[in-house]
Each structure stands twice: as C-alpha cells, then as structure tokens.
Structure 1
Amino acid sequence: MADFENEEINALRLEFEWLLNEEVSVILAQMQNILLECCRRMPVTIPDLESLVKTEKYSLSQNTGQQDQLKISVHLLGDNISFADINLRLHKHTVPNQRFIVQNDCQWKLNQIQDASNHLMAALSYLSAPPLRFDEDGNKFDFTSADEVIQMINNVMNCLHKGRNALIVPKKRTIEELQNSRNMKSLQPPVPNDLAISFYIQSHKLICAIYHMQKDQHGFTKFDIFQAETSVPWLSEVLVLFTVALQVCQQLKDKVAVFSQYKDMNINNLFAPSLN
C-alpha cells in the first residue's frame, strides 16, 4: 500500500514538474498574446505592435420620448473626443436652444479609457518583463513553486479586474465636480452655470449626460437629465479580451491549485531538485 502511495505521489510530482516547466509558460504566452490584441485597440504605444486605433465618428441617440431635445455627434480617437457637436433644446430655459462644440485644439479626455489602458499595460508588464526568474535559453519562466505561479497570476488578474471595471463602472461625480472639471473647459461657448455636461463610458457605450439645474417653488434644486448614447464596437472587443484573459488566468490558477490538495507533495516548496 505504501509503495502504491509513493508511486502515486511520484507521478503527481512529475505531472506538477511538467506543469511548471512546460504548460505554465505556454499558457502565459497565450495570455500575453490576448493582452497584446487588447493593446492594439487601446491608446497605448508598444514597439512593433500595429495599432488599430483610429478616429471614428458617432452619432449619439436619445432614449425614447426625448428625440427632439438632444442631438450629439462626436469624433472619438482612443481616449480622446477630438470633436463634439452638442445641440440641446431646453423648453424651460431662458435660452431654449443651446449648442456647444469641442474642438481639436482642446479635446475631451475620457479618463476611464486611459485608466483601463494603464491597468492593461501593468498586467502585460508582469508577462513581458517579469520580476521572477526567466530562462532565456528555453524562452520560458523558471517557476519552482506553486506560490510563484499563483502570485504572478494574482498580480495579472488584479490589473485586469481594475482595467475591466474602469470601463464598466463609471466613477460617480457631483454636479460641482463636473462643472469644475478640466473637460468642461474644452466646451465652447462656456457652459451656463445651470448646466453640467458629462461624457463617460459604461461597458461598450459612450454616453453623454446633460444636467439642467432648476429651483422649484420652495427653493430646492431639482435636475432635468438628458442622455444620449452610442455603442462603440472596439470597446466591446476590449471587454471580451479582458474577460477571456481573466478566464485563462483562472483556469491556470485552478490547475496549479489542484496539486495543493496533496499535502505530502509539499507543492508550495521546492520539492524536485531537477527543477533547477
């Protein structure tokens, strides 16, 4: 019985050694390719990587019932709105027809896309310039323990989660924050004090929200909100690639974690001299 157990443990050790020496590097290379494909669609610069970022024109549409109140067209280049034409009709405003322009010389920065790009590059850095040992001759990682693999995967997943969330969950801002934002200064003519304008990303959509502040008969401030949106195809592709990369990470993490149930193998320590 003991001989059988020893044989089983030895077989598992060999399997885990193969996982560390061969399969982990193959999977991490696949993951790196996924992230590079994502980078091609984001406003990042990587030598010898062909970028797919280009200026695209969009018309933002309103929800049903507000079709005549808000018309918006934009030119989107990566994380910049290089041009926007906003036409707003406010029946309760002293100036019913409002028009604002974003010009090329003062662009509107979409910080969510920039944040997602930064997190994406941070994830890629763990795979392209890892702090762990790397076997240049074999062109693969030189992992010697489960902890090393899981630590790297956790680092990559943390970056990917932050990048994905940056696009899916826009930060909530007060009206005062919107009015005092740097982006509002890109609008011409200057926006009246009773209006605030916001462009933001939510999942694969570019959304423009306009807030009209009014005083009711009791002196309390109330808001009329007008919103228009459009789907941005390359953002859909980016979110899919983020999701696929996270799935690959989790699958690799699960593979490594399976061996941790065999305590006799002492997986989290260096157990096989042949690994060095």
Structure 2
Amino acid sequence: MYLIIFLFFQQNEFEWLLHKEVHAVLNQLNSILVECVRRFPMPFSSNEGPYKQEKFVLSGAPDQLKCVVSLSGDCISHADISFKVQRQQVVNYRTTVQNDNPWRLHQVQDAANHLHQALFHIDNIDEDYNFQSSEEVLHILGNILGCLQRGRTSLIVPRKRTIDDLMKSRNMKCLVPNIAEDLALSFYIQSHKLVFAIYQVSSVQGSMKFDALQAEASIPWLNEVLVLFTVALQLCQQLKDKVRNTIFPNISLI
C-alpha cells in the first residue's frame, strides 16, 4: 500500500516536472543565453549595427615585446607590433595588422555559433508543447549541453597548431610588412585573455630549437561570456540529473 502511494506521488512529481518545470528551466536558460549573446561585441543580424571596437595593450616582457590591438568582434582590425629576437645579434622587428585585412579570431566566431545553436534548440520548443517522454527531454537537454560545452571549450582551450601550420596560416598574410620566414605570430583566446605569441625557429647543432615570446590582455566581455556559459551549463545539467533521478527513484523495500 505504501509503495503504491509512493509511486502515485512519484508519478505526479514526474508529470509536473515534465510539463511545468522543464519549460520553466528552458525559459530561464533562454534568458541566460540571450544575455550571453549580448555580451559579444559583434552584430548577429544586419539590424544590429557595426562591430564595437575596443583597444587593448597586451603586456609581456616590456623590453622585448610591445603589442597594441584594436579588437572588433571576432577579429583584430588593427595591431601595432614591435619585438626583438636574438640572432647573431639582437634584431628589431615592427609589423602591423591593417583594417582592410584583419586577423580573424575563429574561436570567438565558433563560440558564438555554438551559442546560437543552443538557442535554436530551445526556440524550437513551443511554450505549450507537451513532452511525451523523459527520453525526449533528455535528448533535447543533451543537444543543448553539447552546444554549450563546445562553445565554452572553444574559448578556454585554443586549438593546437604546429609551428608549420602557424607559418602557413592565412592570418600571417595580414602582416604589413611580412616578417622573416623563421618566425611565426599567433593571436588566440585562452579563457578571458587575448594572447599574442611569437615563435622563432632556429637550428642548434643540427637540432631544431623553438623560442617564444608572449603578451596578453584580459578582455572583460570574455569573462562575462564564460560566466554565463558556466551558469547555463550548470542549470541544464541540474535539470538533466533531476529528470534522470525522477525516472529512476531509489526504492528500498524492507
């Protein structure tokens, strides 16, 4: 008898979760992700106006590397770079990125694309839609979680590239003037920071040697985006766990 009553209440709880709480959490997720979209300083439609431009001074070894960039959405629209490298003697280099040929930050665009894909999965669900099964809810939540995880990871973990890949990168053609062939430059996002790195390849007694210089700047809107990604991930995972736990209650009979 007690088991029947327990299962009755468990069924009612599950139906309320399926028809009420899931929609409430999805609405909350939608608000968080819309707010996350607003943090990106780039338009997502033709009605939103031009890219917002921000200027940053990247800090590193002050006597070896100086870099000032203008960040416009998902690209570096302008950069003034000067650095020193050691050859037989110290050599000074100066190069720039010009407005007419910007340096693309694909990580930002990738994160924005995954974010919009997560919103697409939510927007596809009508407010009056009745979920028919727990599997249906878990499938949708899995899709949203996947998009959010990929979006967050694209900003936190830069894609690994070889020196050869960097040297042959299309972005290297943005530099005016070009730099020496044994040098590779890279801009990338790592968590809330914009990082600029210079790699020098040299041969020492027949073996390849790599030297690197690095400078970075904290980007406030990136930090806000990552916080919102994390909050959305936690909320989505909590709902997924609750649906699973409600489906498979731990029943102990004595």
**One-letter amino acid matched to 2:173:** K
1:137-169 superposed Cα distances (whole Å, 9 cap, x missing partner): xx3432121111111111100111111111111
- The answer to whether the Cα contact below 8 Å between 1:208 and 1:227 also exists between their aligned partners in 2 is yes
**CA RMSD, Structure 1 to Structure 2 (Å):** 2.1
Alignment pair present for 1:102 and 2:107: no
SS in structure 2 of the partner of residue 35 of structure 1: helix
1:240 and 2:227 are equivalent in the alignment: yes
* Cα distance in 2 between the residues matched to 1:102 and 1:52: 20
1:261 paired to 2:242:
no
Return the offset for 1:12: 1.6
Counterpart of 2:78 in structure 1 is 83
Equivalent position of 1:144 in the other structure: 132
Q: Structure 2: give runs of 5+ residues left out of the alignment.
A: none
Contact 2:43 2:50 survives alignment (8 Å): no
Please name the residue that 1:274 is paired with: none
SS in 1 for 2:67: strand
Q: SS state of the match for residue 90, structure 1?
A: strand
**Structure 2: distance between partners of 1:17 and 1:184:** 57
**Aligned residue runs from structure 1 range 209-224, under 5 A:** 209-216=197-204, 218-224=205-211
**1:250 counterpart = 2:219:** no
Q: Quote how far apart the aligned CAs of 1:53 are.
A: 5.9
Q: Is the counterpart of residue 184 in structure 1 residue 179 in structure 2?
A: no
Which residue identity does 1:258 align to in structure 2? N
1:45 maps to 44
**Identical pairs, percent:** 49
1:29-65, Cα deviation, whole Å (9 max, x unpaired): 00011111111122351588x7896211000001xxx
Relative to structure 1, the CA distance from residue 105 to residue 46 in structure 2 (aligned partners, 3 Å threshold; closer, same or farther) is closer
Contact 1:79 1:113 in 2 (8 A): yes
Find the aligned partners of 2:250 and 2:212 in 1 and give their Cα distance. 59
Task: Report what 1:269 is aligned to.
Answer: none
The question of 1:111 aligning with 2:99 is answered no
How far does residue 100 in structure 1 lie from its aligned partner after superposition? 0.7
Task: Name the count of aligned residue pairs.
Answer: 250
Distance 2:50 2:130 in 1: 34
Aligned pair in 2 of structure 1 residues 194, 74: CA closer, same or farther (>3 Å)? Answer: same
* Pair 1:249–1:93, CA change in 2 (3 A): farther
CA distance in 2 between counterparts of 1:203 and 1:165 reads: 9
AA partner of residue 22 (structure 2)? V
Q: Is the 8 Å Cα contact of residues 185 and 197 (structure 2) preserved in structure 1? A: yes
TM normalised by structure 1 equals 0.85
1:199 aligns with 2:187: yes
What CA deviation, in whole Å up to 9, does each residue of 1:4-30 have, x standing for no partner? 322222222112111111111011000
Match of 1:166 in 2: 154
Specify the SS of the correspondent of 2:59.
strand
Q: Which residue of 2 aligns with 1:225?
A: 212
Give the TM-score normalised by structure 2: 0.92
In structure 2, the CA distance between the partners of 1:176 and 1:263, relative to structure 1 (3 Å rule), is same
The DSSP-based 3-state class of the residue aligned with 1:25 is helix
Query: Unpaired segments of 5 or more residues in structure 1?
Result: 265-276
CA distance 1:122–1:81, change in 2 (3 Å): same
Work out whether residues 205 and 230 of structure 1, in 8 Å CA contact, stay in contact via their aligned partners in 2. yes
Q: Summarize deviations over 1:143-202 as a string: whole Å, max 9, x none.
A: 121111111111100111111111111111111111111100000001210110000011
